[in-house]
Amino acid sequence: MGILWACAILSFGVLLLWKGAGLLVSGAVSLAERFGISPLIIGLTIVAMGTSAPEVAASTAAVLKPDGGDLALGNICGSNVANLALVGGIIAMIRPMLIRRQVLRREIPLMIGATLVLWPILRNGHVSRTEAGILLFLFFGLLLFAVAAAKKKGLSTACPEGLDSRAHRPSETHPPIPKSILLICLGLVGLVFGANLAVEGATIIGKWLGLSDAVIGIAIVAVGTSLPEFVTCVVAATKGHHDIAIGNLVGSNICNALLVTGCAGVASPFDVSDRLAGGIDYLAMVGISLLFWGISLWGKGKVGRLGGSVLLMTYVGYIAYTTSRH
């Protein structure tokens, strides 16, 4: 397959992603308003798992091939770094992100905890089915805890200072529930197919450039599978739905660390190289998570253009270093 054809596939995939994200956000917001559910909960669950579907598909497909562990875990680590540093950085530079106090105290630490849980599993360079099953158990446990805690805090009605109240005010007339569900389903289909096309095109380009599987996973496939998060967050943020945007970023990283790694390991036990088994790439994933949390705390729940530029420059530096070691 030629480079021109790969570029065409990549471009069409991005177009599908953009349209799918718009449908997903519209359906998710409508459903949240209809049932009085916090947009944050929708972002942490439906939207996060939906936009993580490409990571599940890509990483699971990778481990089913010989020596696909580096590509699978490189995709996971790279996606988590890209979500917070690339996507979060760009979103903050377009429009400052506003993060609830409860998210700073609960959901982001849970995200960091999910990332740290991977270390004892990865340190021997192998992920077994038992370890993968433990990760899946932890994921669903954390999911239930986050939803229950968010409901207990009454996030469906509270609107902190600085958040656009229009994004949380139930509309006068709600669209029919089947229509909202249909929009969500169509959006997810668009995201999955769009991401698959984008990843396929990007991988062909990476092979043509002579990059290793680890670098392709971290720098190309990860960015491709992070496109759903990026486009969804852009659409959500520009419409003032900050909870969906930040819930998507945090929830997706939890999904990637626990759900995606767990699904891949259950499908087929896999080995990873030292750089991913607690080495530089794993440490980068942990470090970016801590940096994002630190910037959010420093801004007292606001990640502005300065914080966004720091995140973006950090990502560019990391990718430059990674590709130089291919």
Signed CA dihedral, 301, 304, 310, 312: sign only: positive
Average pLDDT, the chain: 80
pLDDT, average across residues 186-197? 75
Q: What angle do CA 18, 86, 167 make, to 5 degrees?
A: 55
pLDDT, average across residues 260-274? 90
Worst-scoring range by mean pLDDT, 7-16, 73-82, 274-283, 288-297?
7-16
pLDDT digit string (tens) for 28-40? 777 766 776 777 7
Query: What region, left, alpha or beta, does residue 67 occupy, with left being phi > 0 and alpha being psi -120 to 50 degrees?
Result: left
- Reference 280, options 217, 325, 222; nearest CA is 325
- Is the pLDDT at 157 greater than 50, yes or no? no
pLDDT, average across residues 178-190? 81
Name the pTM for this structure. 0.78
Residue 225: the pLDDT is 67
- For 61, half-sphere exposure in the C-beta direction (CA atoms, 13 angstrom radius) is 12
In percent, how much of the chain has pLDDT > 70? 83
Residue 155: the pLDDT is 46
- Is the pLDDT at 50 greater than 70, yes or no? yes
- Reference 254, options 162, 85, 135, 148; nearest CA is 135
Cα→Cα distances 286→86, 111, 188, 282, Å: 15, 10, 28, 7
**Which two structure tokens, joined as six digits, stand for 306?**
């300065």
- Is the pLDDT at 321 greater than 50, yes or no? yes
- Is the pLDDT at 163 greater than 80, yes or no? no
Residue 69: the pLDDT is 84
> What residues are paired with 270 via a beta bridge?
127
pLDDT digit string (tens) for 276-289? 888 888 999 999 99
pLDDT, average across residues 38-67? 77
In this prediction, residue 238 has a pLDDT band, given cuts at 50, 70 and 90, of: confident
Residue 166: the pLDDT is 42
Rounded-to-integer distance, Cα 234 and Cα 120, Å? 35
Fold for domain 3-324? A middle domain of Talin 1 (1.20.1420)
pLDDT digit string (tens) for 112-142? 999 999 999 998 989 999 999 999 999 988 8
In this prediction, residue 189 has a pLDDT band, given cuts at 50, 70 and 90, of: confident
Task: Please tell me whether residue 251 adopts helix, strand or coil conformation.
Answer: helix
Residue 49: the pLDDT is 77
Higher-confidence position of 289 and 14: 289
**Which two structure tokens, joined as six digits, stand for 233?**
């967050």
- Is the pLDDT at 66 greater than 90, yes or no? no
Burial of 280 (0-12, 13-18, 19+ CB in 10 A): middle
Worst-scoring range by mean pLDDT, 60-69, 101-110, 171-180?
171-180
**Which two structure tokens, joined as six digits, stand for 50?**
């939906």
